[in-house]
């Protein structure tokens, strides 16, 4: 019984490690017409579901994202450069998150959903936690 439990635990642990390394597929909506074979240099999309690209960046459903486009094979790579939040503030994106186009190539119409695949950047080893000290809790006066 103990060996069976250890085997099950090892299986669950290995499956969680594999899932953590997976890419993140995000559904977005085109805000203008474009052709995947010859996309514009700049593209505007709307995020269709809450998406965490990194510990520092969370894009919520409804955010409008502007990005640079690089043609690649029969698709393209979308690199977000800024987004518009709910308060209609345009905020820059400091890091580069390259999302590859997923789906059938061809003409994408305005308000048509399509998919972008971003690599998983949420590695817990790269996240730094802040541990408050006693001076943060009880500042000297």
**With the C-alpha atoms ordered 114, 27, 78, 112, is the resulting torsion angle positive or negative?**
positive
* Closest residue by Cα to residue 65 from 44, 86, 36: 44
Q: Is residue 94 part of a domain?
A: yes
Q: How far is CA 93 from CA 5, 64, 117, 129, in A?
A: 45, 12, 17, 22
In a domain, 44, yes or no: yes
pTM above 0.85, yes or no: no
In a domain, 55, yes or no: yes
132 vs 71, 125, 138, CA distance in Å?
46, 20, 10
35 found inside a domain: yes
- 109, part of any domain: no
Q: Is residue 133 part of a domain?
A: no
* Domains held by the chain: number: 1
Domain region containing 71: 23-104
- From first to last of the 141 residues of the chain, give the pLDDT tens digit: 656 544 444 444 444 444 444 678 999 999 999 988 888 999 999 999 998 888 788 899 999 999 999 888 777 899 999 999 989 999 999 998 999 998 888 889 999 999 999 887 655 545 555 666 666 666 665
- Closest-CA residue to 80 (of 116, 39, 36): 116
In a domain, 12, yes or no: no
**Distance, CA of 29 to CA of 27 (rounded, Å):** 7
In a domain, 3, yes or no: no
């Amino acid at each position: 019984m103990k060996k069976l439990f250890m085997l099950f635990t090892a299986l669950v642990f290995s499956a969680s490690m594999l899932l953590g390394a997976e890419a993140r597929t995000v559904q977005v909506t085109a805000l203008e017409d474009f052709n995947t074979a010859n996309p514009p240099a700049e593209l505007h999309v709307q995020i269709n579901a809450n998406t965490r690209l990194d510990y520092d960046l969370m894009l919520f459903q409804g955010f409008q994202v502007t990005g640079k486009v690089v043609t690649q094979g029969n698709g393209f790579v979308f690199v977000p450069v800024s987004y518009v939040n709910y308060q209609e503030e345009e905020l820059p994106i400091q890091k580069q998150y390259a999302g590859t186009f997923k789906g059938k190539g061809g003409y994408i119409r305005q308000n048509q959903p399509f998919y972008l695949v971003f690599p998983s950047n949420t590695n817990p080893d790269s996240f730094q936690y802040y541990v408050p000290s006693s001076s943060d809790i009880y500042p000297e006066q």
